Structure 1
Amino acid sequence: MSFNLAVMLRESRLATPDTACLIYQGRSITYRELDDLSSRFARGLRAKGLGRDDVLAICLPNVPEFVVAYFGALKAGVTLMPLSPLLKATEIAYHLADSGARTLIAFDVFAAEALGAAAAVSGTTVYVVTLAEDGPVPQGTLAFALLLPEGPPDRAELIRGDIEPTSGDDTAVLLYTSGTTGRPKGAELTHFQLYLNCTTSGDLFDVLPGDVSLGALPLFHVYGLSSVLNVSVRYGGTVSLVLRFEAQSVLDQMVRDRVSVIVGVPTMYVALLAADRTGRDLSRLRVGSSGGASMPGEVIREFEKAFGIVILEGYGLSESASTATFNRSADDRRVLSVGKPIWGVELRVADPDDVPLPPGAEHVGEILLRGHNIITRYRNAPDATAEAFRNGWFHTGDLGYLDEDGFLFVVDRKKDLVIRGGYNVYPREVEEVLYTHPAIAEAAVVGRPDERLGEEVVAVVALRSGEAADPDEIIAFCRERMAAYKYPRVVRILDELPKGPSGKIMKKELRCV
């Protein structure tokens, strides 16, 4: 059966052609305009010889050109490989070599790294998007506009569509995992998986055609691509693109663009909560969603009180096309839980032998998934594929437990578990206590090698603006609130905790602090 994910854009264009699909720095791009631009881009790719079985790499922040390239690649039957624009040349080169991509679209600010990668992988052509419209491109690169041949599609093409007869099982997007446990692996997501995941998620989230979603999550990450962009386009909404997340300016943008939906990671909510909201009309904001990492209960409670909305948590991975579980509504949720499996997804919590565990916080095990949205393989990585897909289930590497009603509680990554003197210490449990300290804005807990105990519990925190606290006081605060084997013996205070491109706190870096 032929199917292409870009049909979402075409259908929304036919339904509401003059509705804004994107808002970028105050300028609207309608569904009609985006559909036409992406069709031109598809023809541009074909003119350069790209088609089925080819991979297009894009290293772009949240700019309209990303969306044009995304839907244009889908229409041309080309697999899109989105990469963080912050990657260095050697990292980009690895992705190019592993994926087979030889066409790369980069942002002019980071063009030097793209050129370095191209030099390392022969046959690579670099196109550049400039921050200033029609600005000059660096030497050795080509302008993005060269992939947009002039001339609108004729009326027959508008009706028939510009979409190649791809199969729903064809790879639409190639997303490389973060690589925190080794070299990044390419998760192959199909047209059908991405379509069904965003359709199911949007239905659960009760997305409305008039919704304006905050596009602060990076589109090169599965959470921003699927849960923000795809969901919005699927339901005819609008995305207010954020080029760079700075809480104060984002609040201004939310007012200007009349944002009604926030989808973000916990650190974004922490930053917005700390920002000055004086005089800003945020009354159109109706709901928030959080994922990417567990959200501290104290942050949820403070944000909901301050902004007057409900935050619904979910859980997913690149390998699950974004969403795997979700809290349905304010009346059907558990604070600190990431909800129940979405339609068509099965979940179990299992012991090391893959035996299902009974409900209860005392039965923590690995989270296993299977369903329509789960990838079937990693590209060029048969051993990693075999390791992840055992006994008919995808092994996430995350630890959690189910309650009696089927709500999932994520405890931690298996690799983040701290074993102190033979006792399991789950960092998230300690972090929840740290977030209740009035002076702490951000917190992360990691393990440090210890000759006597095996590992010691270390807390790394950042303080709220204008607040003061010292390590001994924070240790005492924790000691009063948790068992002796759990509380941190070491506390380090930083100005800000390091974060990755998607806004997650980077515990890997904190282990070196």
Structure 2
Amino acid sequence: MEKIWHEIYSDDIPRELKLPEMTIYEMLQKSAKEFPEHKSFIYNDIHLSYRDLKNSCDKLAAALYSKGFRKGDRIAVMLPNRMEYIVAYFAIQRLGCIMVQVNVMYQASELHPILSDSQASGMICENVQKEKIDALGLGDQLVWIIVDNEQTEESSFARLLEEQHGPLPDVEINPKEDVAVLQYTGGTTGKSKGAMLTHYNIVSNAYQNIVFNCLERNKEIILGNSPLFHIMGLSYINITVFSAGTFIIVDRFKVEKVLNLIKEHKPTIFVGAPTMYVALLQYENLTKDDLKSLRICSCGTSPLPNEVISKFEELSGTKIIEGYGLTEAIVTHRNPVSDKRKAGSVGVPLPNTDCKIVDAETGTEEMEVGQSGEILIKGPQVMKGYWNNQVETNLSIRNGWLYTGDIGYMDEDGRFYIAGRKKELIIASGYNIYPIEVEEVLYEHPAVMEVCVYGIPDSYRGETVKATIVLRKGMTCTEEELKEWCSDKLATYKVPRFYEFRDELPKTAVGKILRRKLVEDHSNEKKESSLY
């Protein structure tokens, strides 16, 4: 069915794709067969060809099988960005097991609900993480595979790769029905839920992205800065392997290290969160030559301020391609690589993806062009549901549509814009205020490096607006100056009443600002002050 946004597609991008019904492991098999000697992943001094990657995955899968793992078993992976993560991911898929993604920064209280909910029977992690899980009393129910530089454990990752086992039996996997990954929601909005992503969800979305972004098979080099345990990092692993490209694993984002990697490997695609682009702009020695190999700079996890986009593109000479996605549907929207884009837009739905805006109250009335409401998604990338949580599944997926919980609107050309989360909406004296529109104005101020806007309780207005700000190094600014700045550009009810200056903002592992944490901090400060 023809959609209004199809007019924005380039002529060589199909509106509908014939999506491959293959497993994630079959995706690796295909690239390894066609390009066995091509580099698949680079991590520091380790360079794995597609043949070597497949062989390592097969060895680990055989070792896991010998330990009793079978189709449908959940194996938790709690690893930072390193080569073992990649091998573990594809080995788990070879067996038809389910990989449970675990954030390496989580502490015991955050780990317990995930491990209990998923009922994981295996854990692949570094030794430092084992102590956290043992403290929960869950250690005895897990088969441990320890990844460390000093491989001394009997069940160490390296030793398992050295073991000799017979051939693995074939495992019958239904790509559309069988779950490949449990990706737990990020916790920026509350209790985590395990999104069930099938092989079909993941492979289809990789193909959608490759076609829409006009990626060339066996030619792209992707510099991956996102944590691999995050949906954005996982997405680019699959895009890389489907397209038989090369992926450079960055263990931790540091500007000088990243610029050296760009110089050495000449990547064509840069993957980063908004805070990474801000950090690059702050680097005094950055020049256009440093980034000349890049064809696409991809940005996700949260909106990138227009001011940052324009400054970065002017300096680098390359384009930042913003998109939209979420744990429950991976990637759903992209800006086209062509010039058909508008500032502030997350682009248009990918091929085979439908999207509409409905009223946020009932979720039943479709909104007019330009009117804000909740974003609904339908497509092959939409999750099967939430693990062990039919109630939340029924609330989130209705009549085939995923209710995202995000607020946005569509313009007259079919481009989509994100205004914020439903739960982030500030209602002051009956007026709806979306934090992002206030943040955009504050980001334009020359002294502001980072900002987060949120609502706080107000006895008269119900809620009022507060801004927490990080200033650029060596610059100063007062609350009164920012109030005046905002008053010239915003309606009075949108101007923040309160300002807080900090050295840094709380963030998730992927650099997403934790708005909820700032709200909690404000609440705790009010409680403490009321005691005196």
1:10 maps onto 2:17 in alignment:
no
Equivalent residue, structure 1, for 2:4: none
1:290 maps onto 2:303 in alignment:
no
2:246 maps to which of 235, 238, 243: 238
Matches within 5 A, 1:252-271: 252-271=260-279
- 1:23 touches 1:257 (CA, 8 Å); kept in 2? no
1:150 maps onto 2:158 in alignment:
no
CA distance in 1 between counterparts of 2:62 and 2:155 reads: 17
1:152 Cα deviation from its structure 2 partner: 9.2
CA distance in 2 between counterparts of 1:190 and 1:231 reads: 16
1:59 Cα deviation from its structure 2 partner: 0.4
**Match of 1:148, as an amino acid?**
L
- 3-state SS in 1 of match to 2:328: helix
CA distance in 2 between counterparts of 1:85 and 1:37 reads: 23
1:171 maps to which of 179, 190, 202: 179
CA distance in 2 between counterparts of 1:276 and 1:15 reads: 43
1:318 maps onto 2:337 in alignment:
no
Q: Deviations over 1:409-438 (max 9, x none)?
A: 110000111111111111000000011011
Equivalent residue, structure 2, for 1:355: 365
CA distance in 1 between counterparts of 2:338 and 2:165 reads: 46
1:479 maps to which of 487, 496, 513: 487
- 1:81 touches 1:174 (CA, 8 Å); kept in 2? yes
**Match of 2:398, as an amino acid?**
R
Q: Deviations over 1:140-175 (max 9, x none)?
A: x8412243243599xxx7xxx986221112101111
TM-score using structure 1 length: 0.93
CA distance in 2 between counterparts of 1:114 and 1:301 reads: 45
CA distance in 1 between counterparts of 2:146 and 2:347 reads: 41
1:477 Cα deviation from its structure 2 partner: 1.1
- 1:43 touches 1:149 (CA, 8 Å); kept in 2? no
1:406 maps onto 2:404 in alignment:
no
Equivalent residue, structure 1, for 2:316: 307
Equivalent residue, structure 2, for 1:129: 147
- 3-state SS in 1 of match to 2:141: coil
1:91 Cα deviation from its structure 2 partner: 2.1
Matches within 5 A, 1:317-466: 317-320=326-329, 322-351=330-359, 352-353=361-362, 354-360=364-370, 363-466=371-474
1:77 maps onto 2:77 in alignment:
no
- 1:266 touches 1:295 (CA, 8 Å); kept in 2? yes
**Match of 1:451, as an amino acid?**
S
Q: Deviations over 1:279-299 (max 9, x none)?
A: 763321111111111111111
Equivalent residue, structure 1, for 2:226: 217
1:37 Cα deviation from its structure 2 partner: 0.3
CA distance in 1 between counterparts of 2:499 and 2:483 reads: 7
Equivalent residue, structure 1, for 2:9: none
Equivalent residue, structure 2, for 1:113: 132
1:122 Cα deviation from its structure 2 partner: 4.2
CA distance in 2 between counterparts of 1:477 and 1:181 reads: 30
Per mean C-alpha deviation after superposition, the further-off stretch among 419-428 and 464-473 is 464-473
**Match of 1:254, as an amino acid?**
I
Matches within 5 A, 1:19-98: 19-98=38-117
CA distance in 2 between counterparts of 1:144 and 1:93 reads: 24
- 1:416 touches 1:427 (CA, 8 Å); kept in 2? yes
Unaligned runs of 5+ in 1: none
* Paired residue total: 497
Q: Deviations over 1:255-299 (max 9, x none)?
A: 222222112221111112212345763321111111111111111
CA distance in 1 between counterparts of 2:514 and 2:305 reads: 16
**Match of 2:83, as an amino acid?**
P
- 3-state SS in 1 of match to 2:406: strand
1:121 Cα deviation from its structure 2 partner: 5.8
Equivalent residue, structure 2, for 1:508: 516
CA distance in 2 between counterparts of 1:499 and 1:453 reads: 29
**Match of 2:266, as an amino acid?**
R
1:470 Cα deviation from its structure 2 partner: 2.0
CA distance in 2 between counterparts of 1:48 and 1:152 reads: 11
**Identical counterparts, % of pairs:** 36
CA distance in 2 between counterparts of 1:67 and 1:388 reads: 30
CA distance in 2 between counterparts of 1:337 and 1:277 reads: 30
Unaligned runs of 5+ in 2: 1-19, 523-532
CA distance in 1 between counterparts of 2:186 and 2:425 reads: 18
Q: Deviations over 1:201-256 (max 9, x none)?
A: 11111223222111111111111101x11101111111111111122222222222
- 2:222 touches 2:247 (CA, 8 Å); kept in 1? yes
Q: Deviations over 1:90-128 (max 9, x none)?
A: 3222211111112111123433223334x2364123222
CA distance in 1 between counterparts of 2:228 and 2:157 reads: 18
- 1:4 touches 1:163 (CA, 8 Å); kept in 2? no
CA distance in 2 between counterparts of 1:234 and 1:266 reads: 26
RMSD: 1.9
Shift in alpha-carbon separation, 1:466–1:152, aligned structure 2, 3 A: farther
- 3-state SS in 1 of match to 2:207: helix
- 3-state SS in 2 of match to 1:316: strand
1:274 maps to which of 277, 282, 285: 282
Equivalent residue, structure 2, for 1:187: 195
Shift in alpha-carbon separation, 1:68–1:163, aligned structure 2, 3 A: farther
**Match of 1:128, as an amino acid?**
I
Per mean C-alpha deviation after superposition, the further-off stretch among 230-239 and 142-151 is 142-151
Equivalent residue, structure 1, for 2:528: none
Shift in alpha-carbon separation, 1:41–1:291, aligned structure 2, 3 A: same
**Match of 1:147, as an amino acid?**
L
1:207 maps onto 2:215 in alignment:
yes
CA distance in 2 between counterparts of 1:444 and 1:259 reads: 32
TM-score using structure 2 length: 0.90
1:368 Cα deviation from its structure 2 partner: 0.7
- 1:55 touches 1:81 (CA, 8 Å); kept in 2? yes
